[in-house]
Amino acid sequence: MNNIAVFASGSGSNFQAILDAIKSQKLEANIKLLVCDKPSAYVLERARNENIPQFVFHAKEYASKQEYERAILSQLREYEIEWIILAGYMRLIGPTLLKEFEGKIVNIHPSLLPVFPGKDAIGQALEAGVEKSGVTIHFVDEGMDTGPVIAQREVQIDPNETKASLQIKIHQIEHELYPATLQNLLQRRS
């Protein structure tokens, strides 16, 4: 059974989807730690409800990214983490974590990468007037949403699509695709 740490900055809907997949035995993993950079994020409540340990930090309280990543790394070692799973974590991963977890950091992004990387991918897609968007699960490298793609699934954008309606469609796919992809990945790599 793989020990994973989930990194999140927001409401934690993908954290919950991963947790639900573990509970229903569709994903063979243990969430041993939640790492969060936003002390008011709802994902912390989700973790508390399940008695999942948390490491919460304020990046501004550290002199550098390297310093707070060393603090995170210390926690990851303490909990014997094997994989880092990003689920709405809004920071780039730096060399400290990339080196230690090379090939074992996975992210989910709400577009068909390489198009619309970075923040507000849903808004970017709507503004561009494209007919489809989707979800990408990829390995993390030093760039922003540039790592090798593991899985993708398309979503049709309707002519009068709103940001809210597209977000709902994308979340539905994310919550199904992410746990299933992680299960395949963790089984192959364990």
3-state secondary structure of 11: coil
CA distance 23 to 97: 28
Buried b (16+ CB within 10 A) or exposed e, 5-18: bbbbbbebbbbbbb
Question: E-assigned strands of the chain?
Answer: 2-8, 29-36, 54-56, 83-86, 105-109, 132-139, 149-156
Q: Supply the angle between the helices 121-128 and 163-189 in degrees, to the nearest 10.
A: 130
Task: Single out the residue of 11, 2, 25, 6 nearest to residue 180, CA to CA.
Answer: 25
Active-site residue among 58, 109, 138, 171?
109
> What is the distance between the alpha carbons of residues 41 and 66, in angstroms, rounded to a whole number?
23
Q: Annotated catalytic, 109?
A: yes
Which residues are known to be catalytic?
Answer: 109
